[in-house]
Amino acid sequence: MRILIVEDDAGLRRYVRAAAEEGGFSVDEAACLDDATAHIQSVPYDAVVLDLGLPDGDGLELIKTIRRVRAGLPVLVLTARDSIKDRVKGLDTGADDYLVKPFACEELLARIRALLRRPGQVMGAVLTAGNVTLDTIARDATVAGTPVSLSRHEISILEHLMRRQGRLVPKDILFDNVYGADALPESNTVPVHIHHLRKQLTALGANIEIETHRGLGYLLAVPKEAR
Amino acid sequence: MKFDRNSLVTRLGWRLAMVLAIGTILQMAWLFAHFRGVEDYSEEGLLYELFDFFKDVAWTTPAIGVATFLACAAGMRRHLSSLRAISQQASQILPEERHASLPVDQAPSEVQPLVASVNKGFERLVEAVKVQRRFTANAAHELRTPVAVVQAGLERLPQNEDVVVLRREGERMGRIVGQLLSLARLEGGNGHQLEVLDAAGIVRRAAEPLTHLASAALVTLAFEVELEPLLVQATEEAITEITRNLVENAICHAPAGSEVAIALARDGRLSVIDHGPGIPENHRAHLFERFWRGPWTSRPGSGLGLAIVAEACQRIGATVRCLSTSGGGATFEVRLATAS
């Protein structure tokens, strides 16, 4: 996986690069718009990490170029601007995700991975969280190597939670993904599945936890020492 | 009318009384000299003549004096009432004002230079406040990248005790920088017209990313909404800031394993309820001041969160107060203006 980091601050570029390389990416750097444009036109990157405030112009201009050259290339915007207006503008221009400075490199890597797993991109076949693994193609899961018996819906729920571990999966999105957007809300058995999922995972000694945030959704938490 | 030595009307009264007194004395003196020269009067006869003269003619002088005083006093009071209206306006000028100025034309022309120079002074102050705010916003903005570099660098060091302390402080610094920007943005809120918005959706979107923070603090969030959509008069920015800062504050003080509830009632009451130590009654007055932190708390806060809430509430004409949660803890209640 090759990514391009466009950032004018040499210090930040250095650390983002180091973190990304440790995360298994090969990394190219660009410090300005011209440089970045040249890179994008010559190398088929898997993702671009883009700072908006560049010395020779606005990073949003680069997104326009990217959408013209390679429409499907995921772009993660890094920025110091975080007003709602700025966020909307960034996403409207075609950024795929948005991270406000300062950020944790761990979070940045998680976001890049999430972008790469989007439909249309190469899917990671095996997901892991703590001592739990889930094979997205064989549709089965294990806890510390022991298979867990889960229904089709439960695997699907677990997959979504694992893809966004540490972040909330809103209940509507979970519902739509499991049952399809046209399903009637009456058929919502997500809480029941979550309950069963939790019981199964706990019984096998999983070190991850599915948290319920009432009225908002679910979040898969991995204890710090298990990461 | 109460007696006031500095009142223009009192001063006018004294002047007129003095002129009147001197005039009367001169009149008397003249008459005295005049009668004295014309005929030979006895003392009584002279006094009698003077009294007669006063009764027939001279009484008009003090009468005119009093009438003049009354007319001038009334006129002056009427003209001064325009000044009273202007000072009324002046007393309502707030530090947020972008174009603070007083109406010059309404003042009597003698006072117009004063009003005009006060306006000039206001202009300079407004400009200074603007510069100050822009400075805060720019400083906070510029700090973001260096803070990010420091945080990323610390993340990559071997994690010993010192590094953990530094990382925690680095995160706190990042949070303060973000909050300073929020505050600057709310204060400088250009063109933030109130709109009719769905509060439920905005609160939900603001709360969703905070579950991450809650999870790290071993706390769960809950969102209870009575009516969705719930239309209110507000700005998206203000509701987002109110929710974010109240919930972050609650998560910071909630004990592990407890729940922080966000409740939105159909009458526009937005409550954030925690089961932490609560806030003593005598400290509630200071809660919304900048950089104020409760003396009882050892938790690392910035002291800016609740100030942002207060500022955001003021922007949209909402009120915020702090109550006790039944069974222990703090509840912050914001009253949003519903749009029906």
ipTM: 0.73
Q: Which helix (H) or strand (E) holds B199?
A: helix B199-207
Q: How far is B144 from chain A (nearest CA, A)?
A: 6
Residue B190 Cα distances to B130, B245, B315, angstroms: 11, 22, 11
| CB nearest to B240's CB, from A84, A214, A217 | A84
Q: Count CA atoms within 13 Å of residue B65 on its CB side.
A: 18
pLDDT score of A227: 47
**Size of chain B, expressed as the number of residues it contains:** 340
| Closest chain A residue to B207, measured at CA | A216
Q: How far is A213 from chain B (nearest CA, A)?
A: 5
| CB nearest to B207's CB, from A105, A212, A216 | A216
DSSP B335: E
| Strand A53-54 with A57-58, pairing | antiparallel
In B, which residues are within 8 Å of A212 by CB distance? Answer: 220
Instruction: Give the C-alpha separation, B277 to B332, whole Å.
Output: 14
Under a CB-based contact definition with an 8 Å cutoff, are residues A212 and A194 in contact? yes
pLDDT tens track of chain B, all 340 residues? Answer: 556 777 888 888 888 888 888 888 888 788 777 776 666 666 677 777 777 877 887 788 778 888 888 888 888 888 888 888 888 888 887 766 667 788 888 888 888 888 899 889 888 888 888 888 788 778 877 888 889 899 888 988 888 989 989 988 888 888 888 888 888 888 876 556 888 999 999 999 999 989 988 998 899 999 999 988 899 999 998 999 999 999 999 998 899 999 999 999 999 999 999 998 888 888 888 888 887 776 666 556 667 889 999 999 988 999 999 999 988 899 999 999 998 7
| Closest chain A residue to B204, measured at CA | A216
Instruction: Give the C-alpha separation, B44 to B40, whole Å.
Output: 12
In A, which residues are within 8 Å of B144 by CB distance? Answer: 80, 100-102
In A, which residues are within 8 Å of B153 by CB distance? Answer: 11, 15
DSSP per position, A39-54: HHHHS--SEEEEESEE
Under a CB-based contact definition with an 8 Å cutoff, are residues A99 and A16 in contact? no
Q: How far is B327 from chain A (nearest CA, A)?
A: 20
Q: How far is A85 from chain B (nearest CA, A)?
A: 9
- For chain B, say whether A215 makes contact (Cβ under 8 Å): yes
Structure tokens at B26: 């001169």
Q: How far is B187 from chain A (nearest CA, A)?
A: 13
Helix axes A10-22, A105-116, angle to 10 degrees: 60
User: pTM (2 decimals)?
Assistant: 0.72
CA angle B54, B57, B63 (to 5 degrees): 85
Instruction: Give the C-alpha separation, A81 to A52, whole Å.
Output: 9
Structure tokens at A182: 């046209």
Structure tokens at B229: 């959509």
Instruction: Give the C-alpha separation, B247 to B206, whole Å.
Output: 9
Q: How far is A58 from chain B (nearest CA, A)?
A: 16
Cis peptide before A74 (omega within 30 of 0): no
SS3 content of chain B, % helix, strand, coil (to 5): 60, 10, 30
Under a CB-based contact definition with an 8 Å cutoff, are residues B293 and B305 in contact? no
Q: Is A184 exposed, middle or buried (0-12, 13-18, 19+ CB in 10 A)?
A: exposed
Cis peptide before B62 (omega within 30 of 0): no
pLDDT score of B90: 83
Instruction: Give the C-alpha separation, B147 to B177, whole Å.
Output: 9
Under a CB-based contact definition with an 8 Å cutoff, are residues A174 and A191 in contact? no
pLDDT less than 50: residues of chain A: 120-122, 226-227
| A112: nearest Cα among A24, A173, A194 | A24
A200: CB partners within 8 A, 6+ apart: A148, A149, A150, A154
Asked if B155 lies within 8 A of A15 by C-beta distance, the reply is: yes
Structure tokens at B244: 């974010």
Instruction: Give the C-alpha separation, B42 to B226, whole Å.
Output: 104
**Beta partners for A6?**
A30, A50
Q: Is A168 exposed, middle or buried (0-12, 13-18, 19+ CB in 10 A)?
A: buried
| Closest chain B residue to A10, measured at CA | B149
User: How would you write B32-84 as a 3-class SS string?
Assistant: HHHHHHHCCCCHHHHHHHHHHHHHHHHCHHHHHHHHHHHHHHHHHHHHHHHHH
- For chain B, say whether A100 makes contact (Cβ under 8 Å): yes
- For chain A, say whether B195 makes contact (Cβ under 8 Å): no
Structure tokens at B144: 């973001």
In B, which residues are within 8 Å of A167 by CB distance? Answer: 209, 211-212
pLDDT score of A122: 44
| CB nearest to B215's CB, from A80, A103, A211 | A211
pLDDT score of B287: 84
Residue pairs spanning A and B at CB distance below 8 A: 100
B337: CB partners within 8 A, 6+ apart: B232, B233, B234, B268, B316, B317, B318
- For chain A, say whether B155 makes contact (Cβ under 8 Å): yes
Asked if B237 lies within 8 A of A16 by C-beta distance, the reply is: no
Instruction: Give the C-alpha separation, A144 to A151, whole Å.
Output: 19
**Beta partners for B61?**
none
Asked if B151 lies within 8 A of A104 by C-beta distance, the reply is: yes
Chain A interface, mutation test: which of B183, B208, B218, B243, most A Cβ atoms within 10 Å?
Answer: B208
| CB nearest to A11's CB, from B141, B149, B204 | B149
Asked if B151 lies within 8 A of A102 by C-beta distance, the reply is: yes
Under a CB-based contact definition with an 8 Å cutoff, are residues A193 and A144 in contact? no
- For chain A, say whether B167 makes contact (Cβ under 8 Å): no
